[in-house]
Amino acid sequence: MPLLAKGRYSARFADGDADIRAAQELRALSFRDGAALDCDAFDPLCQHVLVENARGTLVCCFRLMPLDNGRAIARSYSAQHYGLARLEAFEGAMVEMGRFCIHPDHHDPDILRVAWGALTAYVDENGVEMLFGCSSFKGTSEEDYLDAFSLLKERHLAPKRWLPRVKAPKVFPFASKLRLRRPDLKAAMRAMPPLLRTYLLMGGWVSDHAVVDRDLNTLHVFTGLEIGAIPPARKKLLRAVAG
C-alpha cells in the first residue's frame, strides 16, 4: 500500500531487506561515487521511504527517525556532528529526515514534490512538531557556495534558543566568516540544494556553520523546521499534494 501516489510516482515505506538494500545502493550512487552500499548503524533505527516511478524504478529515497521530544535528540545522526543540547528543551514530537537523495539520472521536479507530499502525510499522521536533519552541498569546497552561505547567514539562521553549537572537528563558520558579504541572490539560489531550498520556503532555519564531511564528500548544515511556523499557504499546498 503506497504512502502516497501522485501521477507517475508513488512513495512507500521499505518492506524488508531487499528494499533497504536498494535504498542503500541509491545512496551510495549519490554520496559515495558509486560504491556498493551506503549503510550505517542508524539504518536499523529508521523507517525508510522509497519513491518509485510507474515502472517500479527507485528514483528517490530518505529515512526517518522519530523521536518523542528533544530529550532524545542525542540519539540522532545529526547529533554526531552538531551540539544540539539547546534542542533538548523542545517538548513536541520530532522526526529526523536523513540521507535524502534523488537518482542522478532522474530530474523531474515532481519527484521532490511527491517526496515532500509523503513526508507531509507522515508528519500530519504522527503529530510531528519539528522536522530536522542535515542538508548537504555536494563537495567540500566552501568557495563553490559562498553566495548560498551568505544568504543563509543573512536570512535563515536558527533562532538563538535552538542554535546548534560546533561539535565536528572541521567546520566552515560561514556566519562569522561572511559577516560583511552580501549575497548575489540568483547565484545563491542556483547553488542551494533543492531539499534545503524547500525547507527555507517553508520557514526552515540552519546552523551558523557547515560541517565538512569528507566521508560523504559534502558540506552540510543542520536544518530545522517547526511545523507550526510553516506559512498557511505553503502548508495548504503541501497538504494538497499529500491528500
Whether pLDDT at 240 is above 90: no
Q: Identify the band that residue 67 occupies on the pLDDT scale cut at 50, 70 and 90.
A: very high
pLDDT at 78: 98
Whether pLDDT at 243 is above 80: no
Cell of 127: 503529530
Q: Mean pLDDT over residues 105-118, rounded?
A: 94
Whether pLDDT at 1 is above 80: no
Instruction: Indicate the range of 166-175, 197-206, 233-242 predicted with least confidence.
Output: 233-242
pLDDT, tens digit, 9 for 90 and up, residues 18-59: 999 999 999 999 999 878 899 999 999 999 999 999 999 999
Spatial contact of 116 and 194, defined as CB atoms under 8 Å apart: no
Whether pLDDT at 177 is above 70: yes
pLDDT at 3: 87
**Backbone phi and psi for residue 200, each to the nearest 5 degrees, phi listed first:** -65, -40
Q: Identify the band that residue 2 occupies on the pLDDT scale cut at 50, 70 and 90.
A: confident
Which distant-in-sequence residues (6+ apart) come within 8 Å of 168 by Cβ?
A: 81, 82, 211, 212, 213
- What is the Cα–Cα distance from 57 to 174, expressed in whole angstroms? 38
- What is the Cα–Cα distance from 176 to 193, expressed in whole angstroms? 22
pLDDT, averaged across the chain: 95
User: In the chain, pLDDT over 70 holds for what percent of residues?
Assistant: 99
H-assigned helices in the chain: 17-31, 109-126, 146-155, 174-177, 185-191, 194-201, 232-242
Structural domains for the chain: 4-242 (3.40.630.30)
